[in-house]
Amino acid sequence: MKRFKRSVYQAKYQYLISILFILVTAIACYLFSEILGYQVVALLLLLVVSISAILFDIYPVLVAALLSALILNFFFIPPTLTFNISTPENLLMFSMYFVVAMINAVLTFKIRQVEKKNRMQEEKEKSLKLYNTLLNSLSHELRTPISTIIGAIDTIKDADSKLSKINLNELYSEIEIAGFRLNRQVQNLLNMSRLEAGSLQPKLDWCDVNEIIFTIVNEIREEGPNHTIEFIHDEELPLFKTDRGLLEQILHSILHNSVQHTPSHTKIRIHVLNKSDHCHISIQDSGPGIPATEAENVFQKFYRLSNSRTGGTGLGLSIAKGFTEALGGTVKLDEKFEKGVNFIINIPAQTSVITDMEHEQG
């Protein structure tokens, strides 16, 4: 019901605005009628009808076209201030104006309908393509850990008494890793839906970025034990007022991407700086890097590099970008970095040293 009322009000405004366009143009032309001549006035009124046809629905435009024809006849075509037309030439001109104005309104409306239909078709095809991409990615990403869990449980059930404690622990470890992988994919989908729905509201609080990075690094090391992750604790780094949960997701997504798409024994370095009340984080790896032709696409949803290994849905970096922008910051690739990839995260945040925080609490 509310939607119907909104559409009625919108139609009323279209009628009002299109009529005002005609009236304002007619008044301006009337003031300069001796200079312009009624032929020029006809062209100006036809131009206004054309503009209205581009902006509004068909019926307000038809009303504007009819009103403009009546105004043209009454105020501008001699004899003025009457609906009589004295000469065949003026009658022909008026008739042509009326027909052209109506045809212009209808044709413009038809063109807009075709364009709208084409846009809807393109959006439908794009959505279908994204859906197929997501489905193909998830079919692999979900099937692998589920198969691992089912296989490990079957092995435990069938040979429970024959398995050594070491073998059992290995199977339990596989189940745990597969569970974490499933949870990450579900979390990525939930995060992406939150971003697209626009329901993300950062909750700002004082955060120790050193502590956050240490926590994330320890989690990532379990995922990529053959990678070397270097991070030096900066004692002079202040506290930043930001959303801890979003910052953790940003760092985890980028670090996980670096581990997933670089060879074993790759070095990953993390640097944090305070630059003019901005939390500046650099995540560098010594992997194969990203081709220049694909660099601008890495933050798009479902995008995966052409030379990347199988695995991943292509959502991690897109989520990192969305969360960073939700905090008012930016994340980008350092184009000048040649040996691998350097992600630069820059988030505006208030800063405070620990002594200041203790003083506030006291």
In 187-214, which positions are buried (b, 16+ CB within 10 angstroms) versus exposed (e)? ebeebbebbeeeebeeeeebbebbebbe
Residue that the structure tokens 């994919």 belong to: 185
Summarize the confidence of residues 18-29 as an average pLDDT: 89
Q: State how far the Cα of 337 lies from the Cα of 291, in Å rounded to an integer.
A: 12
Mean pLDDT of 284-308: 75
Output phi, psi for 79, to 5 deg: -75, 135
Tell me the backbone φ, ψ of residue 348, rounded to 5 degrees: -70, 135
Residue 52 class from Cβ within 10 Å (0-12 exposed, 13-18 middle, 19+ buried)?
buried
Pick the most confident of 161-165, 259-263, 285-289, 343-347: 343-347
Strand partners, 187: none
Average pLDDT of the residues of the chain: 80
Q: Which of 127-131, 183-187, 288-292 is the most confident on average?
A: 288-292
202 touches 246 (CB < 8 A): yes
Question: Per mean pLDDT, which of 87-91, 183-187, 294-298, 345-349 is the most reliable?
Answer: 345-349
Measure the CA angle with vertex 168, ends 166 and 170; round to 5°.
70
| Helix, strand, coil % in the chain, rounded to nearest 5 | 65, 10, 25
Q: How confident is the model at residue 305 (pLDDT cuts 50, 70, 90)?
A: low
Cβ-contact 320, 303 below 8 angstroms: no
Residue 143 or residue 229, greater confidence: 229
Q: For the segment 26-78, what is each residue's pLDDT rounded down to a tens digit?
A: 898 888 887 888 888 888 888 888 888 888 888 888 888 888 888 888 888 88
